[in-house]
A = this chain, B = another copy of it.
Amino acid sequence: MSIRVQTEDFNIGTEIAGLTGGRTDIGAVVTFTGTVRGAAGESPITSMTLEHYPGMTEAELARVEAEANDRWPLSASLIVHRIGELHPGNNIVLVVTASAHRHAAFEAAEFLMDYLKSRAPFWKKEARPDGTSEWVDARETDTAALQRWQKSPSKAAE
């Protein structure tokens, strides 16, 4: 159970090794990596700046991670989120979940991302080639994605 907010990049292999190295109780590791796309819809972007709310970010991520650990039997989990100026192709966020079985690892990773996207206080501003920049609008679909977790802890059991 670990959370980091940082400007520097992360290495997925290193992060997995740090969580699972030397352990033989883990059967399944799921990672999610979010990256900066070179265009928002039709408009190309040159960079993306991530602002956050220091203190609350860590508190929200810890709450979200604790909730995932209540719902699924996780052996380990990790959330790393970058802040500052990023460019197309750069990593933004990493979620890693490890469990004895694959469905728990998959579902917990998806849950962490859905909650993180709707509750963790990060904001993205996109810069365009013409020098303008604009705050990214929240997507309705991210709120909708949360709602499926309110019925049942396991999609596999549906």
Contact = CB atoms under 8 A, between A and B. Distances in A.
Residues of A contacting B: mostly: mixed
Contacts of A23: 89
A100 B37 contact: yes
A18 interface: no
A123 B148 CA distance: 35
A154 to B, nearest CB: 11
B106 A24 contact: no
A31 B34 contact: no
A12 interface: yes
A57 to B, nearest CB: 20
Contacts of A16: 12, 33
Nearest to A96: B31
A35 B29 contact: yes
A40 to B, nearest CB: 10
Contacts of A38: 24-25
A142 B38 CA distance: 38
B24 A37 contact: yes
A33 B97 CA distance: 11
B35 A28 contact: yes
18 contacts: A11-B13, A12-B31, A20-B89, A23-B89, A25-B38, A26-B37, A27-B34, A28-B33, A28-B34, A29-B35, A30-B31, A31-B33, A32-B106, A37-B100, A103-B110, A106-B106, A106-B109, A148-B158
3 closest pairs, A vs B, by CB? A24-B38, A13-B13, A24-B88
